[in-house]
Structure formats: C-alpha cells, structure tokens
C-alpha cells in the first residue's frame, strides 16, 4: 500500500496532507524517516510513525451522523476551551469529522475513522450536495433569490452559484432552502452577508443522500447501509 494512502486510511489526514507530512520528514517507517513520495509499505508488517506516534489501520470502519448543536466546534480540542462535537460522541474509536460546521451552525455532520471515505465526500470533484435551511430576518425578494442562484459577488470575486428555494415566511423571518456542492469556509453565511441579509439560524439538513431526519440536537447514530451506499455512489 502507498504510504500516503495508508495514512489517509488510518484517519491521520487526507492523501494530499499525507504527502506534505512525508516531504516534511515527519513520517517514519521501521524507525527511518521516509521523504520520498510514492513510497510503498507493507501495512501488515511495517511500523509507521507520524511525529513519533505509531499509526495503525482501524480494525473496522465507523460511519456516524450527528445533529450538531450550536455552540460546539468540530475539532478534537479547542484552544478557547469551547465544547467540541467529540464531547457528544462517546466511542473508543479515534474519529474525525467529514468537513465542518462553524460554531454557530447546527445540523448534520458525519464522523468516521475512514480517511478514504472522508476524502471522497469532501473532494470538490465529486460535487456532493449539501442542503441547508437558513432562517433569515425579514421578508426576502425574488430578486435576492436570483442573485444567490447566480452567485453573489464578494470583494470583487463571484462566489459559486446555489440552488435556492423559499420555504416559508411567518411575518418576521423567511426560511430558505440552500443547496451548494462546494465547501468554502462559511459559504452560506457569506452569501447572505453579501446581499445584506442576516441569518438568524443556519442548519444543515442533508449531505448527498443522507438526511438529518428525526435526530434531536446532540444525538447521533450509525449510518444505515443504504445511506453509506448513497454517498459512495455519488458522482
């Protein structure tokens, strides 16, 4: 197995990041630094260490969906002492999140120890849809929806287009379905900020064929076989 694939499958990082670790001299195989890209190892016999810590393939892969509440970060630890999603998911497996949701955004996030799976879901080339429900202050106009669908201009640069559909207006806030297939940092919030709209609440409700469903805030459960298959069958 290629060394970068091994590191990704072990949940250390993506293959691209693994290549960087290798060229930086942070990876050892059987006690010797390996810096050559494309290096191949015997995953059953060789001892691999990253930063002095031994890395092993998981005995089995775990795929979990979580309803992340507001007020949690998606990293394993936080230098500001904030709560993390790993405070909610109790498992002996070393998991990491597939993509992220920012501190004030809630909803569906996937957790796994399968680096290859994570890389596939997050890579832009697969264009896997992420659907959000944005609760926006005030009544929105059709002209605003048209701008969002085309792609708003932010600091002179046009952001990716989005699928936009109004859901409801209760006299105070408008609920809007927003579907994107890229994962730029704070993309949905930045889209609405660019047209001068304030998002009161943002929730992700779907990733590809996996829906949040009836999960309560802070609850999690294993992906069903058909949910996992739907993600692997995406473009």
Active site residues: 102
- H-assigned helices in the chain: 3-9, 15-23, 115-122, 142-150, 187-194, 225-232
d(CA 6, CA 57): 7
String of DSSP letters for 137-202: ESPPPHHHHHHHHH--EETTEEPPP-EEEEEEE-SSEEEEEEEES---TTHHHHHHHHTT--EEEE
130-137/173-180 β-pairing: antiparallel
Q: Considering only CA atoms, which of 199, 198, 87 is closest in space to residue 134? A: 199
Q: Considering only CA atoms, which of 4, 2, 1, 43 is closest in space to residue 23? A: 4
Q: Considering only CA atoms, which of 59, 185, 208 is closest in space to residue 127? A: 208
């Amino acid at each position: 197995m290629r060394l970068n694939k091994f590191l990704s499958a072990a949940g250390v990082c993506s293959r691209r990041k693994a290549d960087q670790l290798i060229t930086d001299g942070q990876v050892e195989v059987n006690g010797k630094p390996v810096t050559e890209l494309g290096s191949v190892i015997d995953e059953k016999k060789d001892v691999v260490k990253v930063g002095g810590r031994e890395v092993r393939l998981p005995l089995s892969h775990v795929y979990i969906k979580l309803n992340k509440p507001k007020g949690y970060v998606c990293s394993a630890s936080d230098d500001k002492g904030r709560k993390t999603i790993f405070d909610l998911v109790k498992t002996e497996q070393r998991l990491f999140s597939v993509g992220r949701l920012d501190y004030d955004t809630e909803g569906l996030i996937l957790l796994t120890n399968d680096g290859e799976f994570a890389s596939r879901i997050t890579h832009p080339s697969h264009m896997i849809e992420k659907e959000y429900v944005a609760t926006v202050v005030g009544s929105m106009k059709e002209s605003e929806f048209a701008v969002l669908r085309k792609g708003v201009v932010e600091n002179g640069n046009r952001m990716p287009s989005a699928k936009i559909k109004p859901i409801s207006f209760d006299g105070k806030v408008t609920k809007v379905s927003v579907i994107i297939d890229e994962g730029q940092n704070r993309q949905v919030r930045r889209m609405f900020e660019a047209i001068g709209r304030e998002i009161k609440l943002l929730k992700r409700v779907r990733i590809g064929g996996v829906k949040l469903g009836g999960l309560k805030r802070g609850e999690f459960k294993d992906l069903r076989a058909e949910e996992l298959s739907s993600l692997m069958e995406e473009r």
